[in-house]
Structure 1
Amino acid sequence: MANPDTANLGQSGEWRLTRVWLDLHVWAIEDGAEMAQQIGGAIVNALWDAPDLVENDINTYGRPSFKYMRDPDPDKAYCHGVATVSGVVRWRP
């Protein structure tokens, strides 16, 4: 998982709102694109619905989207996938 991107949106009472984007990276060396897409499918299924948070809440949730890139070297079957998940989190400082 890459470092998250955040944008503070403001405050409502004692709650603060922050939009969060997370990129999840998948690398597949053997079986290249097919394996990366299978792993990506498992990630999408696991993150289809917003996770339950104990002390905070997710106001808006964006289901994962995926991009796949093949290795530029045609002799290699490597594949890199990036899933992006976003949401607006409501939290207390």
Structure 2
Amino acid sequence: MSEFTMLEPTTALQIAIRERLILDANVFALVPRENIRSNFTRPDKMPAVLIGNGTTELHGHDYAGQRAAWVYLDIHVWTIGEGLDATKALAFAVSNSLDHKKLQIEGGYCDHFKVTRIVYPRDPNPDYGHGVLSVEALIRWVV
């Protein structure tokens, strides 16, 4: 574990996800690194991967002074003018990147992580492709 203090769990997970994605050649072949960031609105630059705000369910302290929390958040992938196949390819690259190995959480541990679903909501503007990956993680840290 790092000597740094644990960040709020959703923030720690957002950072860990971004760090994984910007280092994955299969992801940044499809989207520039600077377009992989935390946000939750339609991006102004595309293609993009936006790591949304999440929900934290705290689970108290254990006997060793650790805290644990389930964290849930959505990752939005966006493309423009490339059709839904490009959006699906980007979502699949993101999913594969996150499945590779355990996420490193600053100041804590990620004991469980998985992409639980991927959906492709229709945007009112047919030029936009939009995919949403829902993820869950069990994060633990010492207080």
Aligned partner of 1:71 in structure 2 is 123
Instruction: Give the partner amino acid of 1:84.
Output: S
Aligned to 1:92: 142
Q: Choose the corresponding residue for 1:17, options 61, 65, 68.
A: 68
Checking the alignment, whether the CA contact within 8 Å between 2:115 and 2:133 is kept in structure 1 is no
The alignment's TM-score, normalised by the length of structure 1, stands at: 0.83
Shift of 1:64: 4.7
Written as runs of structure 1 = structure 2, the 5 A alignment for 1:1-93 is: 1-12=51-62, 13-48=64-99, 49-53=101-105, 55-72=107-124, 76-93=126-143
Aligned to 2:37: none
Identity across the alignment (%): 29
Unaligned runs of 5+ in 1: none
Which has the larger Rg?
1
What CA deviation, in whole Å up to 9, does each residue of 1:3-22 have, x standing for no partner?
Answer: 12111012112100011112
Distance 1:37 1:83 in 2: 11
Q: Which runs of 5+ in 2 are unaligned?
A: 1-50
Q: Normalised by the size of structure 2, how large is the TM-score?
A: 0.57
Runs of 4+ that moved beyond 6 A: none
Q: Give 1 or 2: higher strand fraction.
A: 1
More helix by share: 2
CA contact (8 A) 1:26 1:80 kept: yes
Relative contact order, higher structure (CA 8 A, sep 6+): 1
Distance change in 2, residues 1:37/1:86 (3 Å) = same
